[in-house]
Amino acid sequence: MEAVVLKTDPGVIEVGDAERAVLAAVGARLLERPCPGEEELLEHGADAVGILTLDEPLSARVIAGLHRCRVISRFGIGVDRVDLAAASAAGIVVTNVPDYCVEEASDHALALLLALSRRIVALDRAVRDGVWDTAAVAGPVRRLRGRRLGIVGFGRLGRRFAEKARALGLELAVHDPFVAAELIEAAGARALPFAELLATSDIVSLHVPLAPATRHLLDRAAIATMRPGALFVNTARGGLVEETALVEALGDGRLAGAGLDVFETEPPPRDHPLLGLPNVVVTSHSSHYSLESGAEMRARAFENVARVLAGREPLSAVTAT
């Protein structure tokens, strides 16, 4: 039987001759079929030796039906839509591309931080509406230098974001239970427990993956402990935050503003309460985006598949190989 690699996204990731050639070199052919749900994945993936996926639901039920699959390759970083335990039990290697957009995502988080602190969006709209009154539109704006930025998660993205934010004169605090305090301090930041970071930071930015242990990491109780008037930035995953509690904190002024690139449901409904708040800046899960990062992501995702099919180690594995 011919070796087929199924690409499941609905045409978001464009593929060229170079990517097809990578598969052809290991005797595989690319099959592109949109698979928005489990039934389509089961229909088209039953005989595939590899899966290239963006955000499709690779549940335990789906994985049980992938009879020939040896590798699931994610276009991107997060693998929260893949049942990793089921894949491991089935002997399927799960791979991702963990660092293709470190520059873009850290730039984007910094851009949201600056847009919030300098009230860029509100001032832009006011000028377009004929209003030329900085204080009335912007409200109280604080100088960034000397204020504390709390970074939750100190992996590749968190570290790069810290490097860039330091140039603004911000005092850096970090919470990451998987990184030694000595390494955090060597990077010019102060290691803090999560509760202390929330209570003492003027700005909080999330840079952690979404997993069962981190879902609603910033829940109602955690948000209630945040410093009054703090700014909040999330370019990681929407599921890290209890959105109803965030809406309340922003609506009643306990938090001064939020910059959000991610939501629990994407795209969010047009009547989502966060979209109606004037102190919220939103973007369309676009912190990863650039021409360079897209090309790197595609190339490495295909390379991961080809390496596993050839019996070699992938460039980056999430499960054991």
What is the per-residue pLDDT across 2-36, written as a single tens digit (0 to 9) for each? Answer: 799 999 998 889 999 999 999 999 999 999 999 99
Is residue 272 part of the annotated active site? The answer reads no
Residue 88 is predicted with a pLDDT of: 96
> What are the chain's domains?
3-100+291-309 (3.40.50.720), 102-282 (3.40.50.720)
What is the per-residue pLDDT across 210-268, written as a single tens digit (0 to 9) for each? Answer: 999 999 999 999 999 999 999 999 999 999 999 999 999 999 999 999 999 999 999 99
C-alpha 200/C-alpha 231 separation (Å) is: 12
Q: Give Rg (Cα) of the chain.
A: 21
Is residue 237 part of the annotated active site? The answer reads yes
Say yes or no to pLDDT of 1 above 90: no
Question: Which residue in the block uniquely carries the two structure tokens 């503003």?
Answer: 257
The region of weakest confidence among 22-26, 75-79, 149-153, 201-205 is 75-79
Concatenating the DSSP letter of every residue in 132-171 gives --HHHHH-S---STT-EEEEE--SHHHHHHHHHHHTTTPE
What is the per-residue pLDDT across 111-138, written as a single tens digit (0 to 9) for each? Answer: 999 999 999 999 999 999 999 999 999 9
Q: How confident is the model at residue 78 (pLDDT cuts 50, 70, 90)?
A: confident
Q: Which of 185, 266, 292, 313 is catalytic?
A: 266
Q: Where are the alpha helices (DSSP H) in the chain?
A: 17-24, 38-45, 60-64, 84-89, 102-117, 120-128, 134-138, 156-166, 181-186, 194-200, 220-224, 243-251, 291-309
**SS3 state of residue 185:** helix
pTM: 0.90
Residue 275: how many CA atoms within 13 Å on its side-chain side?
Answer: 12
C-alpha 10/C-alpha 298 separation (Å) is: 15
How large is the average pLDDT for residues 171-178? 98
Is residue 266 part of the annotated active site? The answer reads yes
Q: Where are the alpha helices (DSSP H) in 14-71?
A: 17-24, 38-45, 60-64
Q: Which of 215, 216, 285, 296 is catalytic?
A: 285
C-alpha 268/C-alpha 184 separation (Å) is: 35
Return the closest-CA partner of residue 30 out of 321, 320, 319, 298: 298
Q: Which of 74, 175, 237, 307 is catalytic?
A: 237
Which residues are CB-neighbours of 6 under 8 A, at least 6 positions away? 31, 32, 33, 35, 44, 45, 48, 50, 51, 52
